[in-house]
């Protein structure tokens, strides 16, 4: 599908993500000021309910786990990027040139509620340097950052929710596609990051130690957070600043990472609520997957694989995309909520 070319429309530049608001909440025992509009259980809440079920109903742990899973009474942490206080009330991602791939935000590392990055503001809003993830940091290194009760070790993530408020530029495209998700060239992808075992701190990092020439011993730093996806293009035989590694962004949406597209040429901000569950099992080649695609979602995002692949310390990222001249992804707000089992 070749998109129709569009004339360029120039608008006010906004490179003002610095004014965006980032907010995170973790349902942690130490978080007494947490007043969400809907109640998110803490790890201790979930564990207490499990113990009550076991005591009151004389149930084995396995049955209590099943009841908690069925009720979706899982601890949750959330992170939000809010661009509504920018001059245009949205962050504009334009499809022409090199600006069509915008890192928007990342979650905290799964289950590491005692871990903090050296710089909390840039942690939320800055993309990881494009390094190829080498050896992953072992989960034994994470234990000191895990609050009791810890996430279960097998498939800890149960559900990931994306709440996105956005639109495209509100014009253009084929008239037949207007108001649908067909041939929409503005969308959002979910990425994944992990801690690399061999990464060292950058000189500019607050945790950089001149004596050791890297991060403090035993310190796990945000400098070590490297992407699993999007992929990084290798610079074979061309090491050095002249040809540094870079992100290898796909031109087209990828079936297993596309969270949601915007409706084509639809005026006004739209709200999308997307839920990925660990036990989803929509075959990417089924008619149910085609239904996902008709609703602007990736055909291979209904099989639960992304959620099941997550482990302790994993980080979800959201990227905003736009392709081809004239297309603009206007992002007002993105929220990621991660639910896990204890």
- Which residues contact Zn ion by CB under 5 A? 201, 205, 207, 221, 223
What are the φ/ψ torsions at residue 164 (nearest 5 degrees)?
A: -125, 130
Smallest separation, CB 207 to Zn ion (Å) = 4
Smallest separation, CB 234 to Zn ion (Å) = 23
Question: Based on CB atoms, which residue is closest to Zn ion, 131 or 178?
Answer: 131
Question: Based on CB atoms, which residue is closest to Zn ion, 93 or 201?
Answer: 201
Smallest separation, CB 202 to Zn ion (Å) = 6
Question: Based on CB atoms, which residue is closest to Zn ion, 221 or 331?
Answer: 221
**How distant, in Å, are the alpha carbons of 55, 62, 246, 262, 292 from that of 303?**
36, 25, 29, 22, 11
Q: Which two tokens stand for residue 282?
A: 């929509």
C-alpha–C-alpha distance, residues 276 and 162, integer Å:
8
Question: Based on CB atoms, which residue is closest to Zn ion, 118 or 245?
Answer: 118
**How distant, in Å, are the alpha carbons of 86, 188, 217, 236, 289 from that of 91?**
7, 13, 39, 35, 30
Q: Which two tokens stand for residue 31?
A: 């978080």
Smallest separation, CB 219 to Zn ion (Å) = 8
Question: Based on CB atoms, which residue is closest to Zn ion, 191 or 215?
Answer: 215
Which letter, b or e, does each residue of 317-338 get, where b requires 16 or more Cβ atoms within 10 Å of its Cβ?
Answer: bbbbbbbbbbbbbbbbbbbbbb
Q: Which of 198, 177, 151 is nearest to 311 (CA)?
A: 151
Smallest separation, CB 205 to Zn ion (Å) = 3
């Amino acid at each position: 599908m070749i998109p129709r070319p569009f004339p360029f429309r120039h608008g006010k530049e906004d490179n003002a993500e610095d004014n965006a608001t980032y907010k995170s909440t973790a349902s942690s025992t130490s978080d007494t000021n947490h007043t969400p509009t809907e109640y998110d259980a803490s790890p201790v809440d979930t564990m207490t309910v499990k113990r009550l079920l076991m005591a009151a109903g004389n149930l084995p742990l396995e049955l209590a786990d099943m009841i908690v899973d069925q009720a979706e009474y899982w601890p949750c942490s959330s992170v939000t990027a809010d661009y509504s206080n920018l001059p245009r009330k949205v962050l504009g991602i334009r499809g022409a040139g090199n600006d069509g791939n915008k890192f928007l935000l990342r979650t905290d590392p799964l289950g590491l509620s005692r871990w903090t990055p050296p710089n909390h503001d840039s942690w939320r809003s800055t993309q990881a340097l494009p390094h190829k993830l080498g050896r992953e940091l072992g989960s034994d290194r994470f234990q000191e950052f895990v609050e009791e009760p810890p996430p279960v070790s097998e498939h800890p993530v149960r559900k990931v929710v994306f709440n996105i408020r956005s639109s495209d530029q509100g014009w253009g495209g084929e008239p037949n596609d207007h108001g649908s998700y067909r041939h929409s060239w503005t969308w959002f992808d979910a990425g994944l990051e992990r801690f690399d075992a061999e990464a060292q701190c950058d000189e500019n990092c607050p945790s950089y130690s001149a004596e050791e020439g890297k991060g403090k011993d035993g310190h796990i730093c945000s400098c070590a957070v490297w992407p699993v996806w999007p992929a990084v293009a290798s610079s074979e035989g061309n090491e050095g600043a002249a040809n540094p590694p870079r992100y290898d962004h796909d031109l087209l949406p990828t079936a297993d990472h596309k969270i949601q597209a915007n409706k084509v040429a639809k005026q006004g901000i739209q709200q999308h609520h997307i839920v990925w569950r660990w036990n989803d099992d929509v075959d990417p080649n089924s008619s149910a997957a085609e239904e996902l695609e008709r609703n602007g979602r990736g055909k291979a995002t209904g099989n639960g694989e992304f959620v099941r692949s997550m482990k302790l310390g994993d980080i979800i990222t959201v990227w905003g995309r736009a392709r081809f001249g004239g297309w603009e992804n206007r992002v007002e707000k993105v929220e990621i909520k991660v639910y896990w089992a204890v």
